[in-house]
Structure 1
Amino acid sequence: KQETFHQRFKEGSADYRYFPEPDLPKLFLSEIPEFSPEVLRASLPELPWERRARYAQAYALKESDAAYLCATTERADFFDAVAAALGNDAAFIARAANYIVSDLAGIYAKRGSESFSTLDAGAFAKLIRLVASGDLSSRGAKDTLAILVEKGGDPESIAREHGLIQSHDTEALRDAVKGVLAGEAKAVGEYRAGKEAALQYLLGKSMKATKGAGNPAILAKLIVEELG
């Protein structure tokens, strides 16, 4: 017939795919120092479950919060950067974790996406310090954080620009408290009758009178002093 045809295909046949190459010696990676299990293990980055355990142990975080922070590399890297900016102070870092898991997560949820690369860790750490020092209330911190995420900048400057920095001027706050007490005779009477809820009511009125700029701890102390 003058016809040529294949008898077998070596390229795809298993019979021909596993012959040792006679010109290549056997290679034992375990005998090469650079490929030893110890060296390879040491070269690995911190794995997610290791990071999660570190967060829970070092900062006393809840398992659910630690898991959230480690859910993405970007999120965990941001948290580590914030922790470093806070001097690895466990109390400050625990507060920062709470703001990331709750307030910051809420802001990103409304936006439909999160981008930690555009949020400066140092600025976020400064925001946490402002809250811890009592210069910024929880409500003020939320408002400042929303602006920080949207536009960036210095959290203290943002808070001052929007009148969110809390006043520690005792005399000015005392004047505000006196004004509130003068117009809330009923609540004053209830407090003196032993109703603790009246104190919270008067505190709320005092916060409103100071447009949220009064430190609540100082205001509460002044109310008690004035009614004592």
Structure 2
Amino acid sequence: MLKTILFDLDGTLLPMDLSSFLTSYFNGLARICSHIAEPPVLHKHIMAATAAMIRDTRPHKTNQEVFLEDFTPRFNLPAEELMALFDNYYQGDFKNLIHCTAPTPLARQICLHLLDKGYRLVLATNPIFPRVATAQRMQWAGIADLPWALVTTYEHCHYCKPNPEYYREVLEKVGARPSETLMVGNDTREDLAAAKLGIKTYLVTDYLIDHGDPDYRADFTGRLEDFMEFAKKLPPATS
């Protein structure tokens, strides 16, 4: 019996073309940081530090700590000054990236329906962004004020998707069992990797990211509107 539903955000509850979003994201950040690096250089360093987060498996290091550990030495500036630039961007121009998304009322309707049935909801977005950036995207999706059991951000997570340890950490934080959990996402590698722990998976195909990986098979597949019908058929969660 399912009790906990994990939701991806970008491309799932928040419809978006990820490529377009990332292009606009880096362009905006490059403007803020133009005095410290040329756009291609900044992009290269951010991608390298992000890759370091995704690779890292040290349980005592948060993703934020890993990012700073890799990113800061690339510039002749203290970490506090570098992070202040990012914070200024997230609290300012980042909001303009809503034009790269296509918010739908379905996201909120689905979550409210599941909450009414007693399900515990987790926003299991890949924790490579800080809390402020995730909160902004949640607002765009119309789900920021919902009682999430957990929202994964890089400040408090120690792993990233598709590492199965990310999912293990999420389950431990909310006290959920794999057999009673469903992961809903649009990425055939990052989201379907939850199956390695015995978590059921639902692949949302509206903004599908298909890696063509034969190691992962979704238990359920459909558009977000199909998931709404799927949610309606779920029985109330039991305690």
TM-score by length of 1: 0.23
Which structure: larger Rg? 1
Higher relative contact order (CA 8 A, sep 6+): 2
The structure with the largest strand share of the pair is 2
TM-score by length of 2: 0.22
